Structure formats: C-alpha cells, structure tokens
Structure 1
Amino acid sequence: MKLRTLLLACGAALLANPLAAGMARAETPAKLLFSAERKPSAGAPQSLGFYSNGCVAGAAELSPDGPNWQVMRLSRNRRYGHPATVALIQRLAGQAARAGIWPGLLVGDISQPRGGPMASGHASHQVGLDFDVWLRPMPSPRLTVEQRETYPFRSVLKKGTFTVDDRIWNDNYRDLIRLASEQPEVQRIFVNPGIKKKLCETAGRDRGWLSKVRPFYGHDEHFHIRLSCQPGSPGCKPQQAIGNGDGCDELDWWFNVALQPPPPDAKPPKPKPPLMLSGMPRACSPVLDAPDRGGVGAIAETPAGGGYASAYAPAPQNVPVPTPRPLR
C-alpha cells in the first residue's frame, strides 16, 4: 500500500477521535507527514526554519519542462520551492543557454510541496532554498516523462578515484558552476572535493566566485545550489557566512585528513532518531494543516515495479563525518 493511501486510511479512522489522531501524528516521523503532502499550502511564501530542519509555506512550482530545462524524476514530486528559487532556476537556465555554456539544465530535487524532511535522499532541501543540477547537459531530443525516471546519473570523476575525468569534463562545466555562483541569491554551492580541486586548478586569475563553492563528498553526479534566506521569511534561519578566500587552501584537509580511517577501537556513530514534528519549528505544524493551494500537483506516479535511483553516489566508507568544516 502506498504511503499516502496508508496515511489517508489512518486519518479517516482517527477523525472521530482527535486525541488519538494527535497522538498518532506525534508518533509519526516528520518525513512521512511531509512526503505525503501532494500540493503546496495556501498563503504567502515563507521559508521556515533551517535548511535541514524546516518547511516552506506557499511554495511555487517549477514547470516540469521549460525552454532551457527539464525536471528529472517527476514521480518524486520534489519540484517546489520558494518563488526566488524557481525564478533563479529559470534565469540560470536561460543565461547558460544564451551564453553557449549549457544547452539546458537537468534539474534534480528542489523541495517537497510543503518542504520538510524527505523520506529518502537528502538531509537538507527542507525550506525551499536548495536545488540540484545534474552534471549532464539536457540531451536532444528532449527526454520523455518516462525516460526521466530511468535516465542514468553519471559521475564526472574517474571510477574509483576523486579525480575529474577529462574525457567528460570541459570548461563548460566550470563555467556553469561559476555562472551559478555569481547569482546574487546563491549562498553556497556544494561539489565533490575532486571537482573543487579541478575548479581551483582551472579558475584563472579571477577567483572570487570560488568562495561560494564548497567541497562535500558525494556531489560528483550533480551540484547542489543553496540560496540565502529571502526577504519576507523572518522565520528562516540563515547559515553562517562562508568567510573570505577561494577555499582552495582547505582541500588538503579533505584528501589527507577526512580520508583517514577511524581508529580501530572507534565506536561506530549511533544512528540519529527520526526527526519528529515536535522537533521542528512550531510554524511547520500549521503548514501541514493549511489548505492546499489550488491548481498545483504531481503529474507523474512512481513507475510500476520499483522506485527511483538515488541522486547520490555513496561517500567513501572510510571517511569520518567531518564537522564542522563541511558546514562552512
């Protein structure tokens, strides 16, 4: 039974008992509550909380197809975000195409209709200010809805290494990431440390844009763009400033410290308990309860016979959780 059908059935059974309904919701992981919502909430757009613990009210929808973009894995229903995020995707796609840098963006996950934690794939993307761009140009002819469910991810690294594969990579990849970093709304861009190293080696003399490009393992098939908190969202919790410099002098840590195996007697980290609604900003509960905004919804169901591929290549197993450096 699909998650939404199950939750609807449970909700119907609990309507006559509000106390039981409240208890059931309190005991349900927030990722199940938010992933069951299929439409944005009515009301003014607001990002509420932090990128990895929050939600979005009044989200805008990115059209599945545009002049210079296509949204991938439509069955996920994760093409919603703050209106500034949707506007940025449209603008970036157009600028890249007009400049001859990139024929069209393949857009990965943005946020769920009401944001919040996802059932799979991301810790962030919760407040409508994060989105992924595949490191593959949009093909011609365009992909059908069905093809977008199975079109393969492709790493730009040499297999089994953290070195960019020059048979794939060219200056257009660098120029696309640079163009994204130069957008005023963008606060950070996450790429694999190997990609950051390549950018540092090929950026040339104008290097100011590199400060926003932050290394983080896993991002070798896509890059992750994060916007700053936007005006009109007083409940949005900003991330700390990135600091000065191009960040290229920090790469030694990623390759020579982070990759060191943990001590033989190190205890494995305890898994985090699931985030519950009670652990989220108070304003997110009304977002769940708000009526739907009309005229917006999913256009595709999960394909029969299975779900979708992960957008993330696994991080090296011997890489410890590096904090606080990845959050800078």
Structure 2
Amino acid sequence: MILFIFLFLLGGLIAIANANPWENVTSPSKGSEQSIGSYANGCLSGAEALPLNGVGYQVIRSSRHRYYAHPDMVAYLKKLASKTQGFGLDDLMIADISMPRGGNFTSGHSSHQTGLDADIWLSFAPETLTRERLESPTAVSVVDLKSYSLRRDSWMDDHAILFQVAASEPEVARIFVHPVIKETLCGMEWEDRAWLRKVRPWWGHHYHMHVRLHCPDGSQECVPQNVIPAGDGCGSELMSWRPKPDDGKKNKETVKKKRVKVKPSECQIVLTQ
C-alpha cells in the first residue's frame, strides 16, 4: 500500500514536471533561424545562446536556461553592452531572454516566446560576479511603488544613458518600463527625443527594462505588434497611467475568462526537431 502511494505521488510529480514541454527542451532546434508566431504565443527555431560573459555584460540566473535568442537579439545585446561600456557604464546584467526553442514559461512571463524579448536589470555589475551572486543577484528598484515616485537614491545618470542608447537602435520595436521611469525620461533635456517614442509605460518594470525587437528579416511567420502612436508619448497618454484618486467607491471586479492560445503549427515541428 505504501509503495502504491509512493508510486502514485511520484507519477504526479513527473507529470507536473513534464506539463510544459518547452521547458524540458535543453537545446535549440536544428532548423533555420526563425521567430514564429507572436511575442506572447510562439516559438523559436535555430536559436543562438548568448555567451554568459561578454564585453560589457554578464548573464544572471543562467541555471534557468533562458539565455537563448534569435541571432538578431544576440547581436543587439552584444552591441548594446559594448556601446554602454564605451560610455563608462559598468557591466549590464542580462536576465531572461528565451528558452532554447522559445515557447511559453510555466510562470514569470507571457511573452519572451520568440527570442525577441530580453530583460536587462537596472542594477549594474561593477566587477565580475561570482557564480553564487550571478544566480542570486539583488534587484534594485528605481521606483517607490507606494508613492508613485522616483527613488533618487537608486536612480543614476547611467540609467538615462542606458535607455537612450538601447532605444536608439533601429531594430528595437519597444522598451517597456514603469510609468514613473518614462515620466522621468520625458522630464529630461534631450537634443533628440525621437527615441522616447519607443519607451513604453507598463506596470512591473521598475527594476528592469524589457527590450523587444522588430520581427527579423526572413521570419515570415513572425507576428509584429501594432505601430506605436505618433509623438514621444510624454503627453496625455503617459498621464493616463497615473493612479486615480480613491473616490470611496469600490469597482466591481470582473473576471475575464482566459483564452486558450493555440500556437502556430510550425511550433510543433520546432519542438520535435
């Protein structure tokens, strides 16, 4: 009886572990480099691993195996890190990109599925970090979430340089940041403000920036996002993100039924190659 219970529980644990096949794959597919589907419902063929240490950057939490990307993203991150180092910034800390064949994470992200999304922490590494520190880095928020204001003790000029350099590259489609960070950048003096248009406000991005690239040339099945509205995004659009005063009325919570996403048929081929 005890043996039966043990085998039953073991079988359950194995089933849970194998519930998401994308997380069980440990190597890229052998197909050509392709970002397939949408950023939040797709996969990645012919992925390239970002080297864990390079000029101007270090990869954190590599045990998660989320340092694979479309070759365009690998090239972008290397270029960005080299440029920021040239401006005197310490090493960038590169976090989640994608898994070896893309696909969805069990938790943590809904995007990062096509090798075209990358998280870069707003903490810098002034020295080569030990393996232990790379696996358990300390996240530093630059936003006081309670007061909806910038944490001046955490914000540095280096952050402004990082955002400008990152967003100025033509292959970048969007960079997601907390609305307070966007407000801060909008309030600064810039000779060229065109890049600010790509910096988009989104909740949660107060200790890292989320870079998203355009669909690469040759990725015919890659689904692009809508075009960003005209302007630098520093006007009424940004103000709409500010918390509204509590008028004492409680809004009724609405429960939205989660839509089941069906991946492009090509993704099944990627998964089994």
Question: Structure 2-normalised TM-score?
Answer: 0.89
1:116 pairs with 2:111: no
Match of 2:176?
Answer: 190
Q: CA deviation at 1:283?
A: 0.6
> Which residue of 74, 82, 92 corresponds with 1:94?
82
Which whole-Å CA distance do the structure 1 matches of 2:36 and 2:205 have between them? 26
> Which residue of 45, 57, 60 corresponds with 2:45?
57
Match of 2:239?
Answer: 252
Deviation per CA, 1:163-202: give whole Å up to 9, x if none: 1112221221111101000111100000000000000001
Aligned-pair identity in percent equals 40
Distance change in 2, residues 1:263/1:57 (3 Å): farther
The equivalences for 1:15-164 within 5 A come to 32-100=20-88, 102-140=89-127, 142-158=128-144, 160-164=146-150
Deviation per CA, 1:54-91: give whole Å up to 9, x if none: 00001000011112111111111000010000010011
SS in 1 for 2:153: coil
- Conserved? CA contact 1:74–1:145, under 8 Å: no
Q: CA deviation at 1:260?
A: 6.4
Match of 2:272?
Answer: 289
Which whole-Å CA distance do the structure 1 matches of 2:179 and 2:141 have between them? 13
> Which residue of 192, 195, 209 corresponds with 2:195?
209
1:221 pairs with 2:207: yes
Distance change in 2, residues 1:59/1:174 (3 Å): same
- Conserved? CA contact 1:69–1:104, under 8 Å: yes
Which whole-Å CA distance do the structure 2 matches of 1:50 and 1:87 have between them? 21
Q: CA deviation at 1:156?
A: 0.6
Q: CA deviation at 1:38?
A: 1.0
SS in 1 for 2:149: coil
- Conserved? CA contact 2:175–2:210, under 8 Å: yes
Q: Which has the higher strand share?
A: 2
Equivalenced residues, count: 263
Listed as ranges, the gaps of 5+ residues in structure 1 are 11-27, 291-328
Range that drifts further, 199-208 or 50-59: 199-208
Deviation per CA, 1:86-136: give whole Å up to 9, x if none: 010011000110122x22110010001100110111110000000010001
Aligned-residue CA RMSD (Å): 2.4
Match of 1:239?
Answer: 225
Q: CA deviation at 1:274?
A: 6.0
Q: CA deviation at 1:2?
A: 10
Letter in 2 for 1:109: D
Q: CA deviation at 1:270?
A: 3.5
- Conserved? CA contact 2:177–2:206, under 8 Å: yes
1:280 pairs with 2:268: no
- Conserved? CA contact 2:31–2:270, under 8 Å: no
Which whole-Å CA distance do the structure 1 matches of 2:26 and 2:208 have between them? 25
Q: CA deviation at 1:33?
A: 1.3
Q: CA deviation at 1:205?
A: 4.1
Q: CA deviation at 1:161?
A: 2.6
Letter in 1 for 2:37: G
Match of 2:160?
Answer: 174
Letter in 1 for 2:184: K
- Conserved? CA contact 2:92–2:120, under 8 Å: yes
Q: CA deviation at 1:8?
A: 11
Which whole-Å CA distance do the structure 2 matches of 1:251 and 1:2 have between them? 51
Distance change in 2, residues 1:233/1:260 (3 Å): farther
- Conserved? CA contact 1:7–1:36, under 8 Å: no
Listed as ranges, the gaps of 5+ residues in structure 2 are 1-8
